Every structure is written in structure tokens, then in C-alpha cells.
Amino acid sequence: MNPSHIELRHLRLLQAVSEAGGLTAAAERLHLTQSAVSHQLKALEDALGLALVERAARPLGLTAAGRRLLALAHSALPQVDAALRDLAKLRDGDAGELRIAVECHTCYDWLMPAMDRYRDVWPGVELDLLGGFQADPIGLLLDKRADLVITSDTAPRPGIVYAPLFGFEMLALLPPDHPLASRKWLLPADFAGHTLITYPVPEDRLDLIRRVLAPAGIKPPRREAQLTVAILQLVASRRGLAALPAWTVAPYIERGYVAARPVGRHGLWAELHVAVRAADAARAYVADFIDTVKRDSFARLPGIRPLVAGTMETNAPAR
Amino acid sequence: MNPSHIELRHLRLLQAVSEAGGLTAAAERLHLTQSAVSHQLKALEDALGLALVERAARPLGLTAAGRRLLALAHSALPQVDAALRDLAKLRDGDAGELRIAVECHTCYDWLMPAMDRYRDVWPGVELDLLGGFQADPIGLLLDKRADLVITSDTAPRPGIVYAPLFGFEMLALLPPDHPLASRKWLLPADFAGHTLITYPVPEDRLDLIRRVLAPAGIKPPRREAQLTVAILQLVASRRGLAALPAWTVAPYIERGYVAARPVGRHGLWAELHVAVRAADAARAYVADFIDTVKRDSFARLPGIRPLVAGTMETNAPAR
DNA sequence: AGTTCGATATGAGATGGATTCATGAATTTG
DNA sequence: CAAATTCATGAATCCATCTCATATCGAACT
């Protein structure tokens, strides 16, 4: 391969490697195997006659050449995306309506900023966020009272298609000085004898209970709180334990307000998906919304990982 | 193919089609077959769901979508080139020396502007233009008194490698009101009875004599002039005919100062190549000089065409 | 030091996209 | 209208890329 045969694929590869901090993680994001990423990176380095990544360090670092090429990626790839968006507008028009229903309380954390970014590039799309807890958000889609739903439930329904967003880790929260904080991770039995502090939703919507405690036959008393800060406050003041997505609790952990531990050896991983009516899935402004959310999330949320399309994960690590 | 699988290859394709004004001409520039260009363009249009070129018009026009994508190409491709140049500097260093010997008088027309552009991106390379007419410029290369030669002679010499620049048409010049000006093109016999006005170089360096008149057994009297303007003036004042590269005479033809006609049915085409020592061919600043000259020439010179690597053309159209 | 685990490298083979070849249709030119 | 030029298209070929299987490497743990 000749250096002048460099392609956008290579820039996307380098960007993924840099953001993910490793070839294996990059491969997952790109929906390739680790082998493909390794081969392709090597081919690129051979073509340029320069090493691009420092393989010794962890997380993987870039060489000076790698950083120069990454700078190209950072400047060129957004231009390409913008052009493709303009072409999509040329094809499908640039107006539309997107009424969004959200199933999970903590999703607003990343959804609002993502919506702000989306508004910048699709000013013609009317964005609405449906408030309140929805018992059956997919029903809203079918009734045409919503256009897009963010959910963890991907049970097939006629006329509905799902697109995976990301997998995220639910972390168990406990007071920083709690005896269990010395443990590397918590086991179901550790929850016995503690109050579980949750949002006010049915038990079968709580992954910790449905997938960890109930199978182990453990039924701790529950206490409900509406707001995330309230839950954190209750945990910090030793009223009980809780489990929240990693991205929600990261800032509090950093400040030492609460401690967080994985649930089980590999952690408790859940997923988020987007559901839309099949008829809407091809619309450019819909597809780009999903894209924007995904890109934005991976750029900013800690403790999330890519999903292989169509895989419902349980407790095991991806793959 | 999905729109997001667009590659730089597609941008280069669209740019070539737009600049060349047709798929066939674009194919030659890209060193591909016309079929490949057609297939690839169609695949791209299918992926985007949009037509990019107006196939009806001649020269081929772009649609609104095509223009948007071309705008991307114009902004992204130079960034890529700049990055690759930086990487080459990182690998090979950014300094060097380039003493250039030129065989043809009219080459300065395009060489000087190209050198100016080159200086902008390789400020560390010392550029020198060797003056005067060189009898054996390749000898200068071997003696290390020059580093790069622009020549039409590609006779293999050990330690020397050639890179094709472009093919160009030699146009016969005559006074605008000359009887021969009514002809679509001139034949060897038409030169009989006219004085031939040339630069002061040996006969075997004049393509018109060596390849057209001598084979036809025609030996018109010669008159020599040092400067291009002097030759033009002599032709305009009816002292004889001349033959010069199309790019040199284009501005004078436009003003009606002289008339120009092809020599023979398909015109008299000559070629220019770059010769360097084999040891220098891989140096980044050398390769990029050749690249810059080529790019610059195709962007600005009228009546030139790409060369297939390693083909010595005669009188027939390319391919 | 040995073992295990996670990550990267590598060779062989499969796959699919890109290219060429051969040809046809459409359009222009003299 | 014949000749030439250009673009389109289907089939065959080729080659780059990907996956699979496995090797290698290094770090963490015991």
C-alpha cells in the first residue's frame, strides 16, 4: 500500500484506537474483530513507514506521527459527517418532528446535552421530550403519540425496530466508610440486611432485583426516592444501598461522597436501545439522531461499552 | 454500500470527474479504466440515493448534491495531502537540495509557478534552477551537478529513474490570415516552401522535424530565435511557421496574434518526464516535487493529457 | 518463579468489493 | 448516415480486507 492510498477508514480506525485506548476496545466500537484492527493498523503503519501507536503503554499512546494523523482525523471526519448530513437533507428534506419518550430516570443526564448538539445541525426538526414515567412507552410509538423511545426492552413488536445505543454498568453504591467498601466487588448476599434505595418503579424494572437479587432469593426492604440526589444522600447517610449507572455516579465518587463497587465478578451490565416505528427508521433526521446520541455518549460517558447489534447481554463480559 | 462508508477514493473520483469534465478523461487521470469510474460513480450515487453528475451535458455537469460533495473534496483532500506531507517530513526530514535542469525552453512557463507553490510547503528544501541549454542533462544527474531533470528523453540509463509528467500537444503556428489557417489541421507537405522558426537547438531535438517533416522527406529552411516572443513575432510578421506547446501559445491565440493548428489528424503529441537518480527517487521532498508539478500542471495548462506510466507515445491518441 | 488473564500479533483461508474485459446503447460529428 | 466518442452494464477476475485460530507478550497475582 502506498501512503497516498490512505482512506477515511484509516482515520476512523486511528480515532477509535485513540478514544478507546486500545485495539480490542476500538475493534468493538468499529464492529470489527481485534484481528482486523491489528492488521489494518499494521498495514497503515507499513504504508507510511512510521509507527503510529506506542504499543508498550497502557492505555495505548500515540506517537508524534499518530498524533499528526489524529489531528487530520479530528478535522476531516466532522467535515465528512457534515457533508453527508447535508446530502441527506437534500434527499429527504430537513424538517421533521421527534417526540421522545424515555424509560430510564438517569437518561436525561446524557440525553439533554445530546439533544442540544442535535438541534445545532437539524434546526428544522421539532424536538419534544415527553415527561413523566411511561408504563408502556412502545405503546406510545404505536399510537403515534411519540416518535422515538429510549428503552432497555427490545422485545420484538410488529412495526417497531430497535437500534442498540450502548451497554452500561450499574454500580452498587455504599457509604465510603462502609465495611463492604473494602471488597473489590459485591455479591448478592451482601445486599441482605440492607435497605435498597430505588426510583419509584415496579420491581421488574430494576435490573439489580430482577437479575441479581431475585434469582439469589434475596428480598431486601425497599425505600423509594424520586431524585438521583435524594438517593445518593440516603446512601451517604447510611440509610441503605443503591445501584445506579456508572455515568450518573461518577462525579459523586470522584468527590468521595459515596463509594461504588461492581455487582458480581464482571459487574452488572444493562443496555439501552432506541425504538422507532419501522416506517421512520430510514428518515435521515431520525437515523442521525441515533447517531448523534451514540457518538456523544461514547465521547463523554464513563463505563459504557458498544453493543453488538441484536445481542441481549446478561452478566458476562461482552462476547 | 452505506453512505457512511464513503471514502477518500470517492472524493478523489468526483474531483477528477469534475476537473476532467467527463468519466473517460477522469479515468485516465486516475489511471483506471472508464468502466471502473462508471461503476464506482454509480455505486456512490446508489449509496447516497442521489445523482451526482448530469450525464446529459457536455462537459459533464454536477448536480447540487455533486457540488456539495465536491466542496467537501476541495476542503478535505488538501488537508489529507498536508498531513501526509507532514508525516513524510517526520520520516525523512524536511530539508534537502533540488538543483533542477530543464531541457525545454517553454517549460519555465509552468515550472516557475509550480516551484513557488512547492516552496510554500517545503521551505527547508533549497531550490536551484540550472540556467542555459544543457546538451546532456542526464549526465548532470550522474555527475551530481543536478538532482532533477525535466526531459522528453526516457532512454534507460543505469541509476536513473523516470516519472511521467504529462503529454502535451505541439501546435503549428501561422499568421491568422494565412491561407493554411482555413485548414482543420496541417500536413507535412504544408510546411514545404515555408521557413521554420525554432529555438536554437539541434534538429534531432525538434519533434516537428524529427517525427513529422524528416520522415516525410521535407527539409524546410530554418531560422532560429532565442525567445518565445521573438518566434511569435516572426510568425505574425509572415517570416515563417513554427511549432510550440499548446500552453505556451494559448494566450497569443486568444488575442488573435497568431493562429494555431494541430499537426496531422491527431495532432503532434510529445511528453515530458522527470528524471532523478534512483537513490533520490524515494525521498519525500523529491516525490512531492514531482507530485506538485503534475497537480499544478493539470490544474492550469491547456492541451495536456495524462501519460500511462512507461508508454512512449507517438502520433496516435492515448490508448 | 509459575500461573492466569488480558491484550496484541500473525498466518491461512474465506469473503466481498473493486477493477477489468467485452460489449451494447446513446450521442455527437463530419 | 457512417464513424467516432462517450457512458453503461454484466460477467469474470483480482485483490484488499476480514475472520478464525493460534501464538506471543506482558502484567498481576499467588
Structural domains of chain B, ranges and CATH numbers in brackets: 3-89 (1.10.10.10), 95-167+269-305 (3.40.190.10), 168-267 (3.40.190.10)
- The DSSP output letter for A266 is T
The reply to whether residue A8 touches residue B8, judged by beta carbons under 8 angstroms, is: yes
Is-above-0.75 flag for pTM? yes
- Reported as half-sphere exposure (CB side, CA atoms, 13 A), residue B220 has a value of 24
pLDDT of residue B12: 97
Phi, psi of B101 (to 5 degrees): -110, 140
Residue with cell 499568421: B175
Residue A37: helix, strand or coil by DSSP?
helix
The reply to whether residue B83 touches residue A72, judged by beta carbons under 8 angstroms, is: yes
For residue B34, say whether its CB is under 7 Å from any atom of strand D: yes
pLDDT of residue B309: 55
Measured between beta carbons, the chain B residues lying within 8 angstroms of A87 are 3, 48, 50, 65, 68-69
Residue B175: helix, strand or coil by DSSP?
coil
Beta bridge partners of B273: B151, B164
For residue A80, say whether its CB is under 7 Å from any atom of strand D: no
Measured between beta carbons, the chain B residues lying within 8 angstroms of A3 are 84, 87-88
B4–A contact, CB cutoff 8 A: yes
B47–A contact, CB cutoff 8 A: no
- By 3-state DSSP, what share of chain A in percent is helix, strand and coil, each rounded to 5? 45, 20, 35
Q: Which of B6, B48, B91 faces A50 most closely, judged by CB atoms?
A: B91
Which amino acid is present at A66?
Answer: G
Distance from CA of A16 to the nearest CA of B (A): 15
For residue B63, say whether its CB is under 7 Å from any atom of strand D: no
**CA–CA distance, B142 with B147 (Å, rounded to integer):** 9
pLDDT of residue B193: 87
Distance from CA of A10 to the nearest CA of B (A): 10
Q: How many CB atoms lie within 10 A of CB B243?
A: 27
B35 CA, D12 C1': Å apart = 14
The reply to whether residue A76 touches residue B71, judged by beta carbons under 8 angstroms, is: no
Closest CA to B89 of B122, B128, B127: B122
Helix residue ranges, H only, chain A: 8-20, 23-30, 34-48, 64-92, 108-121, 137-142, 207, 228-236, 246-254, 284-300
Query: Grid coordinates representing A264?
Result: 458480581
Residue B309: helix, strand or coil by DSSP?
coil
Do residues A100 and A129 make contact, with C-beta atoms less than 8 angstroms apart? yes
For residue B20, say whether its CB is under 7 Å from any atom of strand D: no
**CA–CA distance, B218 with B196 (Å, rounded to integer):** 11
Q: How many CB atoms lie within 10 A of CB B33?
A: 13
Cα dihedral value B263, B264, B265, B270, nearest 10: -60
The reply to whether residue B69 touches residue A87, judged by beta carbons under 8 angstroms, is: yes
Alpha-carbon radius of gyration of chain B: 22
A283 CA, C11 C1': Å apart = 44
Distance from CA of A8 to the nearest CA of B (A): 5
A80–B contact, CB cutoff 8 A: yes
**CA–CA distance, A209 with A217 (Å, rounded to integer):** 10
The reply to whether residue A87 touches residue B65, judged by beta carbons under 8 angstroms, is: yes
Do residues B243 and B219 make contact, with C-beta atoms less than 8 angstroms apart? no
Helix residue ranges, H only, B132-193: 137-142
pLDDT of residue B223: 94
**CA–CA distance, A188 with B83 (Å, rounded to integer):** 54
Residue with cell 406510545: A140
| Amino acid whose CA is nearest the C1' of D22 | A35
A87–B contact, CB cutoff 8 A: yes
The reply to whether residue B9 touches residue A4, judged by beta carbons under 8 angstroms, is: no
Query: Grid coordinates representing A215?
Result: 434469582
A48–B contact, CB cutoff 8 A: yes
The residue ranges of chain A whose pLDDT is under 70 are 132-133, 309-319
The reply to whether residue B87 touches residue A3, judged by beta carbons under 8 angstroms, is: yes
Q: How many CB atoms lie within 10 A of CB B46?
A: 10
Q: pLDDT (tens digit, 0 to 9) for every residue of chain B, 319 residues total?
A: 788 899 999 999 999 999 999 999 999 999 999 999 999 999 999 999 999 999 887 778 899 999 999 999 999 999 999 999 999 999 999 999 999 999 888 999 999 999 999 999 999 999 999 877 677 889 999 999 999 999 998 889 999 999 999 999 999 999 988 888 888 888 888 999 899 999 998 888 899 999 999 988 999 999 999 999 999 999 999 999 999 999 999 999 988 899 999 998 888 999 999 999 999 998 999 999 999 999 999 988 988 988 875 443 333 333 3
**CA–CA distance, B140 with B145 (Å, rounded to integer):** 5
pLDDT of residue A309: 54
Do residues B126 and B247 make contact, with C-beta atoms less than 8 angstroms apart? no
Do residues B288 and B88 make contact, with C-beta atoms less than 8 angstroms apart? yes
